[in-house]
Amino acid sequence: MTAASTGRRRPGYERPPAGVHPPLDYPEYRSTILRAPKQPLLPLPHGPTEVTGPLLGEGRVQPGDADLTTRHAGEPIGERIIVTGRVLDSGGRPVPDTLIEIWQANAAGRYRLDVDSHPAPLDPNFDGAGRCLTDAEGRYRFVTIKPGAYPWGNHHNAWRPSHIHFSVCGRAFAQRLVTAMFFPGDPLFGQDPVFGSVPAAARDRLICRLDLRRTEPDWALGYEWDIVLRGPRATAFEPDEERR
């Protein structure tokens, strides 16, 4: 019944402290109103299913998938940028060989998807999707176009600040994270309820920084953004209930 591999008691993952993730029930972001659960979330102890996770490298990433500017006949319009950083766990350890998938609007603020009705031009040379695997040091690197801001229907005159969506698989089900990266100093932050749903002290963690060391002279500005996933707890025996 019990395979040797899962019979050992392995440590679970640290629980995020308060003040990191946005609340699910956040009516300023109107789409939460009918979608956020009303019942409290129940604690799920970390067993074998939660401390393992898929290894999705093989066959998932093709050469060139991390460069969103070279996948079509011509070059996309917009400000070419490099977005790079490391995926780390909360203990500072790199998370290697993990799949990162990104998606974003084009330079005009338009997504290449039927449901985007914003009357801004599509770019035939830009589809806005990329993927890569982190290296042994947890580093990733994308070349893309700086996404434009765009209007949406959340409230009167609502605009999303420029952002790139990031999906990070991590090494365990418990580490899975979907988030977004924003750009420094965006004047639209203050009126965006999605960015603003994050507790104030943690919002800066979603903002990349311009880094001249990552910039390629005469070619593209470089932005650095590290992603921190929760790490394994120090011991196998710390009861889950301890945090409650």
For another protein, the binding residues in 16-35 under the rule CB under 8 A are: 16-17, 20-24, 26, 29, 31-35
Rule CB under 8 A: which of 163-182 touch another protein?
A: 165, 167, 173-174, 176-180
Q: Is 209 in the site for another protein (CB under 8 A)?
A: no
Q: How far apart are CA 107 and CA 92, in angstroms?
A: 34
Minimal distance, residue 212 CB to another protein, in Å: 23
Mark whether 60 is an active-site residue: no
Cα–Cα distance measured from residue 49 to residue 51, given in angstroms and rounded to the nearest whole number: 6
Instruction: Tell me whether residue 150 is one of the annotated catalytic residues.
Output: yes
Q: Select from 37-45, 71-79, 133-141, 208-216 the region that touches another protein (CB under 8 A).
A: 37-45
Residue among 163, 214, 230, 233 flagged as catalytic: 163
How many Å apart are CA 221 and CA 84, to the nearest integer?
A: 11
Range 41-60, binding another protein (CB under 8 A) = 41-50, 52-56, 60
CA distance 110 to 58: 31
CA angle 221, 224, 228 (to 5 degrees): 160
Footprint on residues 96-155 left by another protein (CB under 8 A): 101-103, 105, 111-113, 115-116, 127-131
From the list 5-13, 75-83, 118-126, 213-221, the region that binds another protein by CB under 8 A is: 5-13
Dihedral (CA of 200, 202, 207, 210) sign: positive
Q: Name the 3-class secondary structure at 132.
A: strand
Contact 142, 82 (CB under 8 A): yes
User: Cα 180 to chain center, whole Å?
Assistant: 4
Q: Work out how close the CB of 217 gets to another protein at its nearest, in angstroms, rounded to a whole number.
A: 30
> Is 223 noted as a catalytic residue in this protein?
no
111 belongs to the catalytic site:
yes
Output Rg (C-alpha) for the chain, integer angstroms: 20
**Cβ closer to another protein: 77 or 129?**
129
Comparing CA positions, the residue from 173, 231, 236, 237 lying closest to residue 16 is 231
Which C-beta is closer to another protein: that of 151 or that of 216? 151
CB 74 within 8 A of CB 125: yes
Minimum CB–partner distance for residue 166 and another protein (Å): 8
The active-site residue, picked from 29, 150, 214, 223, is 150
- Write down the least CB distance from residue 174 to another protein, Å: 6
Which residues are marked as active site? 111, 150, 160, 163, 165
